[in-house]
């Protein structure tokens, strides 16, 4: 590790300090970005399915269209992951109160945002 990490592409984070910084930013924004770090020409954004503990799964979207698309999709993917978690496990500790509130049936992601995302997935050029 003192020498750095082995790169997979020219964009792979290989310096430990840069990787730690990216991990901190990932925790902060709630989504991780792969900006051609793993495969040249392929980018990805992912958000964890998690409550107060460790992540048990993730929601991700990959693209060959670059970082601008990822920046736009990042918040949608994170909202989707939160909505899936809530549907499966409820609001979690932070959302609990002493009285049981009526369950929120509103989706975390608007129907329009989901339609846009699904349309993008349907009509994207896949390698």
Spatial CA neighbour of 85 closest among 102, 62, 109: 109
Note if the pTM is more than 0.75: no
Residue in 123, 19, 29, 12 with CA at minimum distance from that of residue 74: 29
75-95: per-residue pLDDT in tens?
999 999 989 988 888 765 555
Q: 37-80 pLDDT, tens per residue?
A: 888 989 999 999 987 778 888 999 998 877 778 888 899 999 99
């Amino acid at each position: 590790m003192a020498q750095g990490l082995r790169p997979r592409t020219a964009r792979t984070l290989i310096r430990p300090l840069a990787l730690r910084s990216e991990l901190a930013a990932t925790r902060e924004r709630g989504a991780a970005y792969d900006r051609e770090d793993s495969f040249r020409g392929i980018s990805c954004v992912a958000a964890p399915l998690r409550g107060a503990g460790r992540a048990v799964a993730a929601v991700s979207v990959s693209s060959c269209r670059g970082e601008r698309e990822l920046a736009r999709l990042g918040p949608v993917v994170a909202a989707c992951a939160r909505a899936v978690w809530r549907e499966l496990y409820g609001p979690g500790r932070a959302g609990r109160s002493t009285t049981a509130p009526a369950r929120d049936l509103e989706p975390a992601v608007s129907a329009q945002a989901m339609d846009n995302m699904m349309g993008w997935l349907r009509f994207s050029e896949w390698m």
